[in-house]
Chain A
Amino acid sequence: MEWLRRLLLPVDQGSEFAKHIDNMYMAIFWLSVIMFFGLMVPMCYFAWRYRFKPGRVTPHQTHNTVMEIVWTVIPLLLCVGLFFWGIIGYMQFAVGPGESMEIQITAKQWLWQFEFPDGTRAVNELHIPVNKPVHLVMTSEDVLHDFFIPDMRVKRDVIPGRYTEYWFTPTTVGEHVSTCAEYCGKGHSDMKAKVFVDTPADFAKWMETGGDEWMHHTPEEWGRIQYEQKGCQSCHNVDGTRSKGPTWKGIWGKPVKLNNGTTVIVDEAYVRESMMQPGAKVVDGFENIMPTFQGLLRENEIRGLVAYIKSLQ
């Protein structure tokens, strides 16, 4: 019944946990189907068989102790069985193996920041090597979020002011999506990240260089991709309208008024500084709410963004 599993659950079973969860889900599903038909078939049969006939006398059946005990005990036993099965699965993955790679996740409205043990950071893009356990240590900088990778069957709330943890082991190479699963405001449904499960070799390469995808795009194109993927578009529009931050359209090379009364020209230095120290120069009429991207953008990504902004005349 693989086709049914693929209909009811994510097609990919990206982690060890996923197979276990899917088996449980399908078991409960079939149990429910049996229970459901066990109730509905008699209901429909009784409705037809005992439809109204004038003069029919109905028996005065008030109770039947044996039956009532049976249909209380059997569901109870089934529930106990499911409970233990659920616990076993949960406990297996609630505490991870000792040699997991720890990844620090910081959620903020509305992006995901990943940090590896060696200090490498990435925004909205997670690379992990296949078949190696991963230990997520997560916190939020503002409101509640939830890190959810459907293909992995991974989900855990991300809470401000404390850390939450999760372990999983990815088992197939490929690209997956992670979504935010705790309502967090306007950008809740845009708060996605890509989760790449790499071969060990690819993973090592990515850690060194951040991958080589950038070489296959023009700088402006690469910049546009960063604009979409690194969270810039949550606050900056490119069509001339204002959002939480100023628009990027038509600003290159033009003067812009800051909130301290001075005026600067939008050039490469200004754009770089705005990404790394956003509070240093705040455009007049906007609030100082931009998070810093220090350590979160690679050089090729910064150059791409600069080129992209330049192209938006």
Chain B
Amino acid sequence: MEHTLTSGNVTADRPRPAKNYLNETTGLWSWMSTVDHKRIGIMYLGAVSFAFLLGGIFALLVRLSLLNPQHTLFGKQWVTAEMYNRFFTLHGAIMVFLFIIPSIPASLANFVLPMMLGAKDVAFPRLNLTSFYLWVAGAALAIGSMVLGAVDTGWTFYTPYSTTTDGAVGLMTLAVFILGFSSIFTGLNFIATTHKLRAPGMGWFDMPLFVWGIYATGVIQILATPVLAITMVLLLIERVFQIGIFDSRIGGDPVLFQHFFWFYSHPAVYIMILPGMAIISEIIPTFSRKTIFGYRAIAYSSVSLALLSFIVWGHHLFVAGESDLANVIFSALTFLVAIPSGVKMFNWLTTMYKGNISFETPMLYAMAFLFLFAIGGLTGIFFATLAVDIHLTDTYFVVAHFHYVMMGGTVIAFLGGLHYWWPKMTGRMYSEKWGRVACALVFIGFNMTFGSQFIMGGQGMPRRYFNYLDQFQPIHAFSTYGSWVLGSGLFLTAIYLLASLKTGPLAPDSPWGGTTMEWESSSPPVVHNFEEQPVFEHEPYDYRHRTVTHV
């Protein structure tokens, strides 16, 4: 049957249900005790946005501290080295543990994944709520740590500095420990959901690629996060009992901590990027109105990235005094892990070829992702190359690299997904004009802030530096101005998104003409997601029977 899409809305004739998941029950307690994955996703969205704001404020403070080497504003020095060391530590810890790790899985995937599978909820709804409250507990401890002396160890907590320094290190490690369990339970939930709650007729290779990405992320969450948990416990016990595992003065090995820490934290960066890639795999076919190219390759690449991510952690220790043999092996494996990401980029690009492309905000973010993740991924090659890593590691080059992949990758994809599913989650359309303006500000500001840092790093500017040589001042200042442009774009995004809740036009079921199952429900969905249980009947991303007459 041929569908003629107008405004991309397949089911324009269906009346909007009176009650949806937002207003079916009301009152604070109905939200606090909810086991509805959609409400939990919304609560998580608020939570991680708050964390992003907090981490972002620290980022702006870091950049502001570095505006000039005298650390002055209007002629007065306003920040000391001790304060600065806390700024960059808290920026990193909040962004990694409170924001980016949970971000896409706990907010967007929580909302959308069960619906993509045609399910009514995740496998373990009460566990889902538990995950959320564990996040809240972890956040409370982290904020407690900030208030009671804060932490100045860097988010990586390297020993023996972290086992001996003052400050509320114990509280922060405890926070990370609890946040780890929040993450584990989220991953556990999605794995079980993917295995057992697919709609009748939907095989593994019929699922949307978003599910593949979140599934692969869950595998990493299950296997890697416990190692972080035990590392934090060991760190805490070392501080309190001085057991002599990481502190050389009492017989421990500081490099052992690095191995433990990076054994989790390298897979962790794939926990961060896989969900972002998963979103791009949804947005590009939808806005190109064309089937995704290389479905199986993308699915397999997600799983292989998850598995390969566990065997490359040593590339964080190339100058840490490890054996040459170890360094050589990890260099080889690190090159290997670059390949699946490259495959995805080619597949996404080929999806656009001979497509029928429109440029609403989600697609603009997806294209920004391709641009920024290309740079982020390619600059990773510099580090995989052993000899070059020696010069570039621990400089601003690595700071730029990881911000390009984490922010230029994951956060950009997150913003794309947020705009893509905003109509579904809220029942409102955001302002497309402001969406495009903000996207431009974010893109330009981001490149200003971090593109310049590649140059500084290559020239020898080390990271985590409060004082710096005068020769770096122009680049530092430029980077700081970029952070203001970036911040304004993000701030603007928050404003128009929130405004749309009151003044945005009501959203149709399927504003973009997407083919995945979540678009079959109303916007916002009813409490049980679908008024009628969908049964899956054909391959994903099939645009053969749709002709779009206008957007």
A interface with B by C-beta (< 8 Å): 7-10, 17, 20-21, 24-25, 28, 31-32, 35-36, 39-40, 42-43, 46-47, 50-64, 67-68, 71-72, 75-76, 79-80, 82-83, 85-87, 89-91, 93-95, 142-144, 146, 148, 150-151, 153-157, 159-162, 164, 177, 179-190
B interface with A by C-beta (< 8 Å): 81-82, 85, 152-154, 158-161, 164-165, 248-249, 252-255, 288-297, 319-321, 324, 327-328, 331-332, 335-336, 338-339, 342-343, 345-347, 349-350, 352-359, 367, 370-371, 374-375, 378-379, 381-382, 384-395, 454-455, 458-460, 462-469, 542-544, 547-551
How distant is the Cα of A28 from the Cα of B375 in the complex, in angstroms? 12
How distant is the Cα of A24 from the Cα of B384 in the complex, in angstroms? 12
| Chain B residue at smallest Cβ distance from A185 | B161
Among A24, A53, A161, the residue within 8 A (CB) of B385 is A24
16 A–B contacts, CB within 8 A, in A order: A25-B382, A36-B375, A39-B345, A52-B356, A52-B548, A83-B384, A143-B160, A155-B393, A159-B248, A159-B254, A159-B320, A181-B462, A182-B394, A189-B464, A189-B465, A189-B466
Among A42, A55, A164, A189, the residue within 8 A (CB) of B321 is A164
B249 close to A161 (CB less than 8 A): yes
Shortest Cβ distance from A9 into chain B, in angstroms?
A: 5
How distant is the Cα of A24 from the Cα of B388 in the complex, in angstroms? 7
Among B160, B296, B356, B387, the residue within 8 A (CB) of A24 is B387
**13 extra interface residue pairs, beta carbon distance < 8 Å, beyond A60-B542, A186-B82:** A47-B357, A52-B357, A56-B356, A67-B350, A72-B339, A80-B335, A83-B335, A86-B331, A90-B386, A143-B164, A144-B254, A161-B254, A185-B161
| Chain B residue at smallest Cβ distance from A40 | B371
B254 close to A160 (CB less than 8 A): yes
How distant is the Cα of A79 from the Cα of B460 in the complex, in angstroms? 25
A79 close to B459 (CB less than 8 A): no
**In the complex, which of the residues B354, B367, B370 has the most CB atoms of chain A within 10 Å of its own CB atom?**
B354
Q: Which residues of chain B come closer than 8 Å to A10, judged between CB atoms?
A: 458-460
Q: Which residues of chain A come closer than 8 Å to B338, judged between CB atoms?
A: 75, 79
Q: Which residues of chain B come closer than 8 Å to A75, judged between CB atoms?
A: 338-339, 342
A68 close to B385 (CB less than 8 A): no
Known A58-B543, A189-B466; contact A68-B297, beta-carbon cutoff 8 A: yes
How distant is the Cα of A43 from the Cα of B164 in the complex, in angstroms? 51
Known A54-B550, A161-B248; contact A71-B343, beta-carbon cutoff 8 A: yes
Shortest Cβ distance from B447 into chain A, in angstroms?
A: 13
Q: Which residues of chain A come closer than 8 Å to B455, judged between CB atoms?
A: 7-8
B549 close to A55 (CB less than 8 A): yes
Shortest Cβ distance from A91 into chain B, in angstroms?
A: 7
Q: Which residues of chain A come closer than 8 Å to B355, judged between CB atoms?
A: 46, 50, 58
How distant is the Cα of A212 from the Cα of B523 in the complex, in angstroms? 81
Q: Which residues of chain A come closer than 8 Å to B459, judged between CB atoms?
A: 8-10, 150
| Chain B residue at smallest Cβ distance from A154 | B390
Q: Which residues of chain B come closer than 8 Å to A8, judged between CB atoms?
A: 454-455, 458-459
| Chain A residue at smallest Cβ distance from B378 | A32
How distant is the Cα of A25 from the Cα of B359 in the complex, in angstroms? 36
Q: Which 10 pairs show the lowest CB-CB distances between chains A and B?
A: A161-B248, A150-B460, A89-B387, A86-B385, A58-B290, A189-B465, A79-B335, A32-B378, A181-B394, A189-B467
A155 close to B394 (CB less than 8 A): yes
Q: Which residues of chain A come closer than 8 Å to B339, judged between CB atoms?
A: 72, 75-76, 79
A50 close to B254 (CB less than 8 A): no
Shortest Cβ distance from B328 into chain A, in angstroms?
A: 6
Among A89, A164, A180, the residue within 8 A (CB) of B462 is A180
How distant is the Cα of A299 from the Cα of B317 in the complex, in angstroms? 41
Known A28-B382, A86-B388, A160-B248; contact A61-B350, beta-carbon cutoff 8 A: yes
Q: Which residues of chain A come closer than 8 Å to B335, judged between CB atoms?
A: 79-80, 82-83
A47 close to B359 (CB less than 8 A): yes
A50 close to B249 (CB less than 8 A): no
A157 close to B462 (CB less than 8 A): no
How distant is the Cα of A48 from the Cα of B154 in the complex, in angstroms? 44
Q: Which residues of chain A come closer than 8 Å to B374, judged between CB atoms?
A: 35-36, 39-40
How distant is the Cα of A85 from the Cα of B462 in the complex, in angstroms? 25
How distant is the Cα of A41 from the Cα of B343 in the complex, in angstroms? 17
Shortest Cβ distance from B366 into chain A, in angstroms?
A: 10
B548 close to A54 (CB less than 8 A): yes
Shortest Cβ distance from A173 into chain B, in angstroms?
A: 19
Known A63-B296, A83-B331; contact A90-B324, beta-carbon cutoff 8 A: yes
How distant is the Cα of A227 from the Cα of B506 in the complex, in angstroms? 70
Among A32, A94, A182, the residue within 8 A (CB) of B381 is A32
How distant is the Cα of A64 from the Cα of B343 in the complex, in angstroms? 13
Among B255, B288, B320, B345, the residue within 8 A (CB) of A50 is B288
How distant is the Cα of A148 from the Cα of B460 in the complex, in angstroms? 9
| Chain A residue at smallest Cβ distance from B88 | A183
Shortest Cβ distance from A103 into chain B, in angstroms?
A: 17
Q: Which residues of chain A come closer than 8 Å to B158, judged between CB atoms?
A: 144, 182-183
Among A7, A9, A51, A72, the residue within 8 A (CB) of B343 is A72
A46 close to B352 (CB less than 8 A): yes
| Chain A residue at smallest Cβ distance from B460 | A150
Known A58-B289, A60-B544, A144-B254; contact A43-B352, beta-carbon cutoff 8 A: yes
Q: Which residues of chain B come closer than 8 Å to A164, judged between CB atoms?
A: 321
How distant is the Cα of A142 from the Cα of B455 in the complex, in angstroms? 32
B291 close to A60 (CB less than 8 A): yes
Among A79, A160, A184, the residue within 8 A (CB) of B336 is A79
Shortest Cβ distance from B79 into chain A, in angstroms?
A: 13
B460 close to A151 (CB less than 8 A): yes
Shortest Cβ distance from A190 into chain B, in angstroms?
A: 6
B354 close to A58 (CB less than 8 A): yes
| Chain A residue at smallest Cβ distance from B465 | A189
Q: Which residues of chain B come closer than 8 Å to A91, judged between CB atoms?
A: 324
A62 close to B385 (CB less than 8 A): no
B321 close to A157 (CB less than 8 A): yes
How distant is the Cα of A192 from the Cα of B385 in the complex, in angstroms? 27
Q: Which residues of chain B come closer than 8 Å to A7, judged between CB atoms?
A: 455
Q: Which residues of chain A come closer than 8 Å to B255, judged between CB atoms?
A: 159
How distant is the Cα of A239 from the Cα of B293 in the complex, in angstroms? 68
A184 close to B161 (CB less than 8 A): yes
Known A61-B293, A160-B254; contact A52-B358, beta-carbon cutoff 8 A: yes
A43 close to B349 (CB less than 8 A): yes
Among B85, B290, B345, B349, the residue within 8 A (CB) of A61 is B290
How distant is the Cα of A87 from the Cα of B336 in the complex, in angstroms? 15
How distant is the Cα of A67 from the Cα of B346 in the complex, in angstroms? 10
| Chain B residue at smallest Cβ distance from A71 | B346
Q: Which residues of chain B come closer than 8 Å to A85, judged between CB atoms?
A: 385, 387
Shortest Cβ distance from B362 into chain A, in angstroms?
A: 14
Q: Which residues of chain A come closer than 8 Å to B165, judged between CB atoms?
A: 185
Shortest Cβ distance from B394 into chain A, in angstroms?
A: 4
B390 close to A21 (CB less than 8 A): yes
Q: Which residues of chain A come closer than 8 Å to B354, judged between CB atoms?
A: 50, 58-59, 61
A21 close to B387 (CB less than 8 A): yes
A60 close to B543 (CB less than 8 A): yes
| Chain A residue at smallest Cβ distance from B4 | A55
How distant is the Cα of A59 from the Cα of B85 in the complex, in angstroms? 55
How distant is the Cα of A132 from the Cα of B378 in the complex, in angstroms? 36
Q: Which residues of chain B come closer than 8 Å to A50, judged between CB atoms?
A: 288, 352-357
**In the complex, which of the residues A20, A59, A82, A86 has the most CB atoms of chain B within 10 Å of its own CB atom?**
A86
Q: Which residues of chain B come closer than 8 Å to A76, judged between CB atoms?
A: 339
| Chain B residue at smallest Cβ distance from A160 | B248
How distant is the Cα of A84 from the Cα of B296 in the complex, in angstroms? 31
How distant is the Cα of A8 from the Cα of B465 in the complex, in angstroms? 19
